[in-house]
Amino acid sequence: MLVSSCGKACLGKTWHRPGRWFMPVWVAAVLWAAATAPWCGRALAADAAGPAATESAAAPAAGADAASAAPEAAGAGKAEEDPVLVRVNGDPILTSEFNARIVLRLPATGSHGELSPERVARYQRELLQEMVFFRLMLQDARKKGIRATDAEIDQEEKALRDRFRDEASYLKAVAARGLDVERIREGLGDYVLVRKVEEQVEGSVPPPTQAQLREYYAANPDKFRIPPQAEVRYLLVEVEASSPQDVWEAAREQVAAIRQRVTDGEPLDVVWQEAATRKGVRAEDLGLIHEGQADLDEVGKAAFALKPGEISEPVFTLFGYALVHVTRRVEGRLMAFDGLKLELFASEWLAARRMEARDAWLKGLMGGAKLEFPE
């Protein structure tokens, strides 16, 4: 879905900040082509990114004068044929730029067919916000005198070319989008500038002192707490997912019968070993698992409802019915500061503080920006 105009409503009130090193639109178009390149013998469709992709050649280089930015070789139209969506400190973001990228961003359909208008609007809003932020970062890089060297651009261009099977495939993808190699290098230069100014902002945050790490440790005890653990094993009476209900019920009854033998006084290990030899029954030892573990299935979740030595009621899983046994529990505890791997801790602390510095920088850029919307 393309747009011919998008004003303040598209930007919205809640700002979505771009990921690190957001790509200029014409570089993104070629990267998209790399992702769909004919590695499996398919022909590269010249219009794969949609009709607006070739219009991206009319988009001006960020910070360039709108009257001279679009090269004649790219077939740029007149200014009135390519409306301005928003001017960022006087620097226009054109409809062609937005359309060229939105076709790369929007999935063809949602999980239930057509994308809802609300979801399309969200994609459009987030994209335009990211494009505004990219212009602001690029402007700030130039204001600070940051430059992209030919060697840096060469390195990025090589990485881009290497995504293609061969040089001919790369040049075909570039030409299919109405671009040329120089235009790609221009976009990569912008990408390098934004990357360097972000690195400069984040690099201004010094490594933490021991006192700062202790202060963070004291203020965030939940981050350093080892959750409760349980040593778990289980028996699974396997059932094919497509089996009828009576097969599932028979599996549940088999697990219940095994459990009843234990509750009636038979030694657990004897019952366990005997049951594990039956056809269609699998015994598994999970070892120590911790509460809140992301990959816990029904078996793991059932385990933390048991005390050491207890066995569960039959537990339904996607693979059959299980009998869960907890052999021991380990209580959660707070890790001692002196026992932390300070290198890793300091690295995590520094990454978080640098992200905060980046967010504050972006907020400052937006706070001082002049955004103009055509009527």
- pLDDT tens string, the chain, 375 residues long: the values are 444 445 555 555 555 556 654 555 545 555 545 444 433 222 222 223 333 333 333 333 333 332 223 333 333 444 457 899 899 999 999 988 888 888 777 765 555 557 788 888 888 888 888 889 999 999 999 999 999 999 999 999 998 899 888 999 888 888 887 778 888 899 899 999 999 999 999 999 999 999 999 998 898 888 888 899 999 999 999 999 899 999 999 999 999 999 999 999 999 999 999 999 999 999 999 999 988 776 678 888 899 999 999 999 999 999 999 999 999 999 999 988 888 888 888 988 999 899 999 999 999 999 999 999 887
Tell whether 177 and 251 lie within a shared domain.
Answer: no
Tell whether 140 and 94 lie within a shared domain.
Answer: yes
Tell whether 238 and 280 lie within a shared domain.
Answer: yes
Residue in 46, 47, 79 with CA at minimum distance from that of residue 60: 79
Residue in 59, 30, 24 with CA at minimum distance from that of residue 189: 24
The CATH number given to whatever domain includes residue 27 is: 1.10.4030.10
First to last CA, the chain: 22
Judging by DSSP bridges, how do beta strands 315-317 and 320-330 pair with one another? antiparallel
Tell whether 87 and 196 lie within a shared domain.
Answer: yes
Instruction: Determine how many CB atoms are found less than 10 A away from the CB of residue 141.
Output: 23
Tell whether 363 and 325 lie within a shared domain.
Answer: no
Euclidean distance between CA atoms 242 and 236, whole angstroms: 17
Q: Which two tokens stand for residue 235?
A: 């028996």
Tell whether 156 and 268 lie within a shared domain.
Answer: no
Is there a domain that residue 345 lies in?
Answer: no
The range of the structural domain enclosing residue 20 comes to 8-207+357-372
Which three-class secondary structure state does DSSP give residue 113?
strand
Tell whether 145 and 292 lie within a shared domain.
Answer: no
**C-beta separation of 324 from 315 below 8 A:** yes
Contacts of 138 (CB under 8 A, 6+ apart): 62, 63, 190, 193, 194
What global pTM score does this model have? 0.61
Tell whether 186 and 263 lie within a shared domain.
Answer: no
